[in-house]
Structure 1
Amino acid sequence: MEALFYVVPVLIIVVVLCGAVAVIRRARATSRAWSSGLTAEARCLRTYTTTSGGGETRVTTRLNHVYEFATREGRAVRFEERGGSGTVLEGDIVTVYYTADHPERATAEAPARGKLMLGTGVALVFFGAFIAFCIGFMVVTHEAAPAADNFMTP
């Protein structure tokens, strides 16, 4: 039973680390797309929303866009972007930023390096605090376990 107080926090830490890696990868992909210097005019093919939550939890709605553009080589690329601008509607033409090696990782977000760094930093601080809480929980549980064992033995 005592192992449960170590296994669960370690599993939570692993999941949080996976989330941190995903945030860093997405930020790096966006930054590379902005830095590549490759842009194209893309047409918004579709907009839709996804919702989550409900019941006892808050309902959140996220706007998504599907874009299509042609690379400089003439290759047609279609990609989906989560959390896009609410002012872009189906049929609108927007500028997208992409890299030559992975045009499917394009973004329609206008370059905003400070905003990207701030958002990534806040997410990583949150993940770090969560990991610190889990480690603290394990340390406190470990330190309290011998005292409880001594208290229970006659």
Structure 2
Amino acid sequence: MLALGATYGLGSVVIGLLVAALGIAGLVSMVRVALVNRRTIREGVPAEARCLEAYVVHNRSSDGYTTSQRRLILGFGTPDGRDVRAELVAHAPYAVGDIVPVRYLPECPERVVPAGASFGIGLSAGLKGVAMLGLVYAGLSLTVMALGAG
């Protein structure tokens, strides 16, 4: 019986550490993407991209709510003559053939941000909320791990 308890405790420790690591990795990934987007907005090269394709993605959640997201496939040329294709989530309605002002970093022109985007209070508050949720998630995982070890 003691061996079963020790195995359960070790399993709880491993699962707790794994879940905590996944939560922290997700949080780090979100913060990294947000920082790259902020840098692109501040330092990015402006370009006029042409909308090559526009489509809508519908996401249905388990509780019955449906959200829609408008996406664009854009094409533009860089000053060094490179043709670039990029995908963008659009908050304004664009049709095929429309000109869409964007910004991009020279080292990664496939990652575009709308030229009028702002890194405002909403995103900052959202990141703080996600950070707090990630910390709570990691804390609960570590608690499960500690209870399993005890």
Cα gap change, 1:13 to 1:102, in 2 (>3 Å): same
Using structure 1 for the length normalisation, give the TM-score: 0.76
Using structure 2 for the length normalisation, give the TM-score: 0.77
Separation in structure 1 between the aligned mates of residue 91 and residue 36 of structure 2, nearest angstrom:
19
The answer on 1:110 being equivalent to 2:112 is no
The 3-state SS of whatever aligns with 1:2 is helix
The answer on 1:88 being equivalent to 2:88 is no
Separation in structure 1 between the aligned mates of residue 142 and residue 43 of structure 2, nearest angstrom:
40
Separation in structure 2 between the aligned mates of residue 118 and residue 68 of structure 1, nearest angstrom:
32
The answer on 1:35 being equivalent to 2:51 is no
Return the offset for 1:108. 1.9
* Alignment RMSD: 2.4
> Where does 1:120-131 land on structure 2 (aligned, <5 Å)?
120-131=127-138
Cα deviation per residue 1:104-133 (whole Å; 9 max; x = unaligned)?
122126231223323322222221221122
Return the offset for 1:41. 0.5
Separation in structure 2 between the aligned mates of residue 113 and residue 131 of structure 1, nearest angstrom:
27
Return the offset for 1:38. 1.3
Unaligned runs of 5+ in 2: 1-7
The 3-state SS of whatever aligns with 1:88 is coil
Aligned length: 142
1:100 alignment partner, one of 85, 103, 106? 106
Cα deviation per residue 1:21-61 (whole Å; 9 max; x = unaligned)?
22122112211211215101111222223344466665444
The answer on 1:19 being equivalent to 2:19 is no
Separation in structure 2 between the aligned mates of residue 122 and residue 92 of structure 1, nearest angstrom:
36
Cα gap change, 1:59 to 1:40, in 2 (>3 Å): same
The 3-state SS of whatever aligns with 1:120 is helix
Higher relative CO (Cα under 8 Å, sequence separation at least 6) belongs to 2
State the one-letter code of the partner of 1:46: E
Separation in structure 2 between the aligned mates of residue 75 and residue 109 of structure 1, nearest angstrom:
20
State the one-letter code of the partner of 1:113: F
Question: Would you tell me which structure has more strand in proportion to its own residues?
Answer: 2
